[in-house]
Amino acid sequence: MNAAPDQTTPAHDSPVTTPGRVVLVGTPIGDRGQASDALRHTLATARLIAAEDTRRFRDLLRRLDLHTDARVVSYYDQNEAERTPELVAALADGDVVVVSDAGMPLVSDPGYRLVQAALEAGHEVTAVPGPSAVLTALAVSGLATDRFCFEGFLPRKDGPRRRRLAELAHEPRTMVFFEAPHRLADFLRDASSTLGGDRRAAVCRELTKTYEEVRRDTLGALAEWAVENARGEISIVIAGAPHDGEDDIDPLELVRMSISQGEKLSAAVAEVAANTGVNRKQLYAAALADRDGDR
């Protein structure tokens, strides 16, 4: 009697994909040598590839000396909502491979909508893991790595960016951010004024590329440096708030900062109280007296 065929589902670390899955592929963040055999096989045998930038993806194939017969479609912030239903429908005929310009999809890159829609439709989601700028920057920063949080890109406008940094003033974990080079100096200026100019940080640019540079210093010094030295792909790592409280920002000062950016007093007090743990009624009374004292 013949044995029944093996119907075991392939392990996720296998480069062989099965129909109907969303396959999230981590691409090199710099050096093409970061490309794994699993990545190469997945791209070479794919049926449909959703790429953040199709031109950059074609350039990646060229650098990796790879050929694919897959249909390649664009999948980026501006068309993500519109294209997601099309990609979910395509899962009925086989895998959909998702790639971003560099690193893992979904990490400050498109893909979340598709993952959610695919899961809701009953499809499997898996990954071919690859390099991550987040973990690479954290590892080379020289700052604590035991506990950290990823904040990605903060708001582009000054006011909202400062408010978010104020919310992070008492965050004890090491923080990792992304920023565009033309906004780096403004980001570091705001971080220095909000978190403290003596807070340790590292600016990591062009990680694993030819002109990789990691600048480790205080936020104040880095803000000055960045005015003339903001180029390339940027990751920023900032030390968490000190545990001894010596460098903590006065909650009343945080309220003043929010009010100066257009926030109402009551809303500013509620937000600061929630983030710092101070008594809301006492803070409101102090903020009210502070405001009336300026009149």
Domain of residue 108 covers: 21-131
* Domain-located, residue 15: no
Domain closes at, from 102, 131, 160 = 131
- One-letter identity of residue 265: L
Q: Where is pLDDT greater, at 220 or 288? A: 220
Look up the CATH number of the domain holding residue 154.
3.30.950.10
The tens digit of pLDDT for each residue in 187-220 reads 999 999 999 999 999 999 999 988 899 999 999 9
* pLDDT on residue 243: 66
* pLDDT on residue 141: 95
- Do 148 and 189 fall within a single domain? yes
- Do 127 and 25 fall within a single domain? yes
- Do 26 and 124 fall within a single domain? yes
* Domain-located, residue 4: no
* Domain-located, residue 143: yes
- One-letter identity of residue 39: L
- Do 187 and 258 fall within a single domain? no
* Domain-located, residue 12: no
- Do 77 and 26 fall within a single domain? yes
- DSSP code at position 26: P
* Domain-located, residue 289: yes
Task: Please answer whether residues 27 and 103 qualify as being in contact, where contact means their C-beta atoms are separated by less than 8 angstroms.
Answer: yes
Give the number of other CB atoms < 10 A from CB of residue 180.
12
* Domain-located, residue 255: yes
CA angle 223, 228, 231 (to 5 degrees): 95
- Do 64 and 164 fall within a single domain? no
Residue 266 has pLDDT above 70, yes or no: yes
Count of domains observed in the chain = 3
Q: Span 67-80, mean pLDDT?
A: 94
Q: Indicate the range of 31-40, 87-96, 142-151, 252-261 predicted with least confidence.
A: 252-261
Task: Please answer whether residues 41 and 65 qualify as being in contact, where contact means their C-beta atoms are separated by less than 8 angstroms.
Answer: no
Q: Are strands 148-153 and 124-128 parallel, antiparallel or unpaired?
A: unpaired
Q: Indicate the range of 78-87, 240-249, 257-266 predicted with least confidence.
A: 240-249
Q: Average per-residue pLDDT in the chain?
A: 87
Q: Name the pTM for this structure.
A: 0.71
* Domain-located, residue 16: no
CA angle 42, 47, 48 (to 5 degrees): 95
- Do 142 and 172 fall within a single domain? yes
Task: Please answer whether residues 231 and 180 qualify as being in contact, where contact means their C-beta atoms are separated by less than 8 angstroms.
Answer: no
- Do 93 and 153 fall within a single domain? no
Could you tell me the CA-to-CA distances from 181 to 153, 185, 237 in Å, in that order? 12, 8, 15
CA gap 129, 202 in Å, rounded = 25
* Domain-located, residue 6: no
Sheet architecture: strand order including 21-25:
71-74, 48-51, 96-99, 21-25, 124-128
Residue 85 has pLDDT above 70, yes or no: yes
Residue 54 has pLDDT above 70, yes or no: yes
- Do 105 and 196 fall within a single domain? no
CA gap 98, 53 in Å, rounded = 11
- Do 191 and 204 fall within a single domain? yes
Q: Are strands 48-51 and 124-128 parallel, antiparallel or unpaired?
A: unpaired
Closest CA to 64 of 114, 130, 140: 130
**Backbone φ, ψ for residue 185 (5° rounding):** -60, -40
* pLDDT on residue 262: 81
**Backbone φ, ψ for residue 149 (5° rounding):** -135, 150
Give the number of other CB atoms < 10 A from CB of residue 71.
11
CA gap 214, 225 in Å, rounded = 12
Query: How would you class 241 by CB atoms within 10 Å of its CB: exposed for 0-12, middle for 13-18, buried for 19 or more?
Result: buried
- Do 155 and 108 fall within a single domain? no
